[in-house]
Amino acid sequence: MKAKLTLLLLLLFSFSFKAQEKQVVNKIISFLQKREIELAKKNGASLDYEKSLKGKRKFVLREIDLNNDNKKDYFVFFNEDCGNGGCSALVLDSKLNVRGNFTLVGLPIIVKKEQINGWNTLNIESKGMRKVIFNPVAKRYGALGIANEKLLTKPYEKVKGDQIILELPDSETYSSLKSFMY
């Protein structure tokens, strides 16, 4: 009887977790679709073309608290149409404000234990490892977010507390990562 009850509780927890995950993914998808339309309008691109791509673009999502506010922030890695230098990515805060907008992003993506300006720094591969520092009041590309990026001259050495949030398994490609469509 205890085993059946335990199994039932595990199934309910699993179902609840999956429903919560789906809700977050749907929230991100809605945000990304609206953002694409806004960018198309701003840049004079065809809205019909943007609408034709709806549901055909891919992204990988990682949730992690980057600013110690006990709320999930989102690292969105666009793993389609990547160039020689890598892919594009966004960091969104818990309210879906863009805090970082990156191009030429490769893997791995490492969240460092080190915090500057109240945000964890990131190490992002881009034909060399870049250190990314956030600043909630700095402006870059017209949005709040990245204060500084610099190329690291030494190879990455893991420090206790660092988290690799996204990496490419050997012999895999960006498009083989578990992705969501938007």
Domain residues for 69? 58-181
**Separation between Cα atoms, residue 178 and residue 51, nearest integer Å:** 24
In this structure, the strands spanning 143-151 and 163-166 are unpaired
Burial of 31 (0-12, 13-18, 19+ CB in 10 A): middle
Same-domain check for residues 173 and 87: yes
Same-domain check for residues 50 and 89: no
The reply to whether the predicted model has a pTM over 0.75 is: yes
Q: From its phi and psi, is residue 149 left (phi > 0), alpha (psi between -120 and 50) or beta?
A: beta
Query: Higher pLDDT residue, 76 or 140?
Result: 76
Which stretch of DSSP H or E encloses residue 66? none
Quote the pLDDT of residue 141: 42
| pLDDT(120) > 60 | yes
Domain end marker among 40, 56, 72:
56
Same-domain check for residues 76 and 136: yes
Same-domain check for residues 50 and 120: no
Q: How far is CA 141 from the centre of its chain?
A: 18
Same-domain check for residues 87 and 49: no
Beta bridge partners of 133: 148
Length of the chain: 182
pLDDT digits (tens, 9 = 90+) for 3-28: 665 655 555 455 555 667 889 999 99
Same-domain check for residues 77 and 164: yes
pLDDT digits (tens, 9 = 90+) for 28-62: 999 999 998 888 888 888 888 877 888 889 999 99
Same-domain check for residues 127 and 172: yes
Number of independent structural domains in the chain: 2
Same-domain check for residues 47 and 73: no
Quote the pLDDT of residue 10: 53
